[in-house]
Amino acid sequence: MEYKNATGRIYDIQGYAVHDGPGIRTTVFTKGCPLSCLWCHSPESQGFGFELGWLPLKCLGMDLCVEACRKACTRGAISRGEPTKRMGTEEMVEKAELDRTKCDGCLKCTEVCFTKALYSAGWDTTVDEVYDRLMKDVPFFENGGGVTVSGGEAMSQFEFTLNLLKRLKDSGIHICLDTTGFAPAEKFLEILPYVDLFLYDVKHMDSRRHKALTGVPNELILDNARLLAKNGAKIQVRYPVIPKLNDSRENMEATADFCVSLGEALTLVQLLPYHKSGRSKYDRLGRPYRLTNVEPPPESFMEKALELFTARGLPAQIH
Ligand code: SF4
Ligand code: SF4
């Protein structure tokens, strides 16, 4: 099959993924998303540009390297911190300190920081590079695994995603596309032959609420799911359950009814209880976490939510 060695921007490739579709998978995370969900647990996935990540725990604070990153920063955003004991030792170190108010995101400091305490969230790559990396994991894909392309929104880098999927399909790899559904309908029809299973987010059935929570309305998303279903796609719906934001009975019933309307295309509904695991990633990027007052839903609530879906004959599970 002909393909183009297109360029793409990604922020991670994770092997041995067991939550991104059937079996053991390797997941490619593309950078950039047209949505900005309040509960997003991958803030590095949202922006299309590179961003400076800062992991103070990884900073060695050695004399030579703290001078290297300090000098690399022409804006004076990096300084030597107060002397502190290196964790678990008596050795005194002066770790780097980052002042984000002075940082313009030039990323020069990341070129000298060998511990990756200062790092670039995201890098540019090509279809061939990613393909070669993924093929190393083929032995893990036995028993129904494969590759998942996720994001961000992989459909926002359509040329890269389409051509990567073409290459993988040619090699007989099972492919999942994890999508927000927010992309032009014709692009979904074009990519459909190369996708074995869509992992498809349904976040709120009321368009105005959807826009308030994610930044975009939901009509295109729901229409694309219907279009894919009509054209032979297999769809696993993913419904993130976020207390007080989209967990009303009314919204759950509407979501369940929508899943029923997808007919045989629907393979599974996954209810994803809100969790806080992404919070520390916001710190790394120097961004505020917006859902500070939300707690994960209790197990009993999730069980009741599950019943609402299974009572309609839907294959559903809490994930
Ligand atoms: S940020 Fe990196 S280069 Fe700078 S002192 Fe820490 S480990 Fe060394
Ligand atoms: S990204 Fe550029 S401006 Fe920001 S701390 Fe690093 S070198 Fe300085």
Q: For the chain, which residues make up each domain, given as ranges?
A: 7-49+123-318, 52-121
| pTM of the entire predicted model | 0.93
Q: Rounded to whole angstroms, what are the CA distances from 169 to 131, 151, 161? A: 11, 19, 12
Which of 65, 101, 104 most suits a substitution to test ligand 2, by most atoms within 8 Å of the C-beta? Answer: 104
Q: Is the pLDDT of residue 91 over 90?
A: no
CATH class of 52-121: alpha beta
User: For atom 4 of ligand 2, which residue has the closest CA?
Assistant: 103
The answer to whether 165 and 176 are in contact (CB under 8 A) is no
For residue range 175-191, list pLDDT tens digits in order. 999 999 999 999 999 99
CATH fold of the domain at 7-49+123-318: TIM Barrel (3.20.20)
Span 42-52, average pLDDT: 96
86-108 mean pLDDT = 92
- Rounded distance from Cα 301 to ligand 2 centre (Å): 45
- What stretches of the chain adopt beta strand conformation (E)? 7-17, 25-30, 51-54, 78-80, 84-85, 92-93, 96-98, 118-121, 123-126, 146-150, 175-179, 197-201, 235-241, 266-273, 316-318
State the pLDDT at residue 123: 96
- Ligand 2 centroid–CA 74 distance in Å is 7
Q: Is the CB of 53 under 6 A from ligand 1?
A: no
Which residues lie below 8 Å from residue 289, measured CB to CB, with a gap of 6+?
A: 278, 279, 282
Q: Which ligand is nearest to the CA of 114?
A: 1
pLDDT in tens, 104-126: 999 999 999 999 999 999 999 99
> Identical fold at 7-49+123-318 and 52-121?
no
**What is the per-residue pLDDT for 183?**
98
Supply φ then ψ for residue 237, to 5 degrees: -80, 140
Q: Which band of pLDDT confidence, cut at 50, 70 and 90, is reported for residue 277?
A: confident
Please tell me the predicted confidence (pLDDT) of residue 89. 85
Overall average pLDDT of the 59-80 stretch = 93
